[in-house]
Amino acid sequence: MTSPPPGPSGSATLRGALPRATTRGTGLLVAAVALLTIGFWYGYPELAVLGTAAVTAAVIAVAHTVWQPRLRVARVADPDRVPRGDPSTVTLTVTNTSRLRSATLVADDQCGSRTVPVPVLRLRPRRETTATYQVPTDRRGVVPIGPLRVTRRDPLGLAAMTRTQGGTAQVWVYPRIHPLSAVPAGVVRSMDGRLDRVPHGSITFDSLREYVVGDELRRVHWRTTARVGELMVREHLDTSLPRIVVLLDDRAASHPDPETFESACEAAASVVAAAVREDLAITLHLASGRAAGTGGRAITGSRDFLDLLAEATLHSGVELGTAARRLRQQRLGDTLVYLTGPAGREDLGVVGALRGAYPSVVVGVFGAAEPTKAAGGLVVLDAADGAEFAAQWDGVRA
């Protein structure tokens, strides 16, 4: 995928500053002032000539650095969305669009917190150079890439001028996903629900079976009965379609160790992936207010959810009660999954109060030193990381 505007064409945006003197250039200017002062004050024309020559060299150096070759910068991140730890490669193409002059520049591209050198040496007119490098994906988050910083110096090294060219791009590093084999059972009847709630019902046809004493005659399938010679009745099931709501606690006070928040993000991503696999409706809410979801509709992809998880950061001054009131009023589902850190256990009462709106509430606590006491009908899973949460999740039966 290509970088954001200026787009795949790579048309460059040019932003610059005034030329700056290097250490050598500053020394030359100081020497020039001294030579001119002594030469004119004490009548030494030779020193005045040297001072004038030094000033002339400085002026020429500034004029040299002000001129910049016309460059076109194109940047492609492939892929621009990647799970944590997987490779992502940036391909940067710099084209000299000048007609006559070659470009010899010092250039570097910004990739997150590190600087990547880009060779732009003796780049002839209408020619291009390409540089590739790896994006650091060892941490979840959004990695900003660019813009390209281009520095031009004069041959004597007296002045330099740095400008930025080209647009920027971003790489979303998703949290790790741990497979979940189980999904919650819902409590709302659905004509095409995915999970069996009661063995004998009246909504969805399941199969035919032989008649047993006590079966209602209105369920007899007479056409099959005539064909096989025995009474056959319809077997029906009442089915349920779970609607899952994930509440991710992104309060800094709940996660004294930021690693517990990373584990909570992995757990949230795992629940989302399981819902996508089973074609279930799910919404993801952050305690700070951002959300992604489909309400009562099933989802067909997890990109919006994973983008939100990649962009999630810890916030100060956020109250869980605000998010709880919002979920109580909207009643977005029947199963609430609350993911928090060790300090978030102090607010389990706020989450437990949501059982009136959400009959099934599962709490995931990460990094707690001692087991969490379950109260108010909550299902509590204590886990050290996302992998342990997945194992405990599959061990819970609705």
CATH of residue 307: 3.40.50.410
pTM tops 0.85: no
How many CA atoms lie less than 13 Å away from 258 in the CB half-sphere? 7
Predicted local confidence at residue 143, as pLDDT: 96
**Which DSSP helix (H) or strand (E) runs through 291?**
strand 291-293
The C-alpha atoms of residue 342 and residue 352 are separated, in whole angstroms, by: 17
CATH of the domain at 119: 2.60.40.10
Domain range for 366: 243-395
Phi, psi angles (nearest 5°) of residue 11:
-60, 130
Q: Which residues does the chain have with pLDDT short of 70?
A: 1-17, 185-207, 236-241, 294-301, 397-398
Token code pair at residue 184: 């919650």
CB atoms within 10 A of CB 23: 9
Specify whether 155 is located in the same domain as 259: no
Pair (253, 389) in one structural domain: yes
Is residue 262 a part of any domain in this protein? yes
Instruction: Please check whether residues 125 and 81 belong to one and the same domain.
Output: yes
In a domain, 111, yes or no: yes
* Residues 234 and 348 placed together within one structural domain of the fold: no
Residue count of the chain: 398
Same domain, 151 and 215: no
- Answer yes or no: is 18 within a domain: no
Residue 262 in tokens: 């990373």
- DSSP 3-state percent helix, strand, coil across the chain (nearest 5): 30, 35, 35
Provide the token pair at 272.
């989302």
Q: How far is 265 from 275, CA to CA, in rounded Å?
A: 15
Does 25 reside within a domain? no
Asked if residue 280 and residue 384 are part of one domain, the reply reads yes
Three-state DSSP class for 329?
Answer: helix
Q: Which of 240, 270, 296 is the endpoint of a domain?
A: 240
Q: Is 190 helix (H, G, I), strand (E, B) or coil?
A: coil
What is the distance between the alpha carbons of residues 253 and 136, in angstroms, rounded to a whole number? 28
Structural domains in the chain (count):
3
- Any bridge partners for residue 284, and if so which? 246, 292
Residues 6+ apart with CB under 8 A from 337: 244, 245, 246, 247, 268, 271, 362, 363, 364
The reply to whether 188 falls in a domain is: no
Q: Are 359 and 267 part of one and the same domain?
A: yes
Q: Report CA-CA distances (Å) from 322 to 180, 326, 327, 332, 380.
A: 30, 6, 9, 16, 22
Helix (H) or strand (E) holding 74: strand 71-78
pLDDT given at position 198: 42
Residue 43: inside a domain, yes or no?
Answer: no
Same domain, residue pair 204 and 277 = no
User: Do residue 258 and residue 366 come from a single domain?
Assistant: yes
- The helix (run of H) or strand (run of E) holding residue 365 is strand 360-366
Segment 59-83, tens digit of pLDDT: 999 888 887 788 889 999 999 999 9
Q: In degrees rounded to 5, what are phi and psi of residue 324?
A: -65, -40
Q: Is residue 138 part of a domain?
A: yes
Per DSSP, the three-state class of 171 is strand
The 3-state DSSP class for residue 65 equals helix
User: Does 208 map to a domain?
Assistant: yes
How high is the pLDDT of residue 52?
A: 93
Nearest in space to 105 (alpha carbons), one of 93, 118, 92, 116: 118
Give every CB contact of residue 368 below 8 A, 6+ residues apart in sequence.
342, 345, 382
288 and 205, same domain (yes or no): no
Give yes or no: residues 162 and 229 share one domain. no
Same domain, 253 and 384: yes
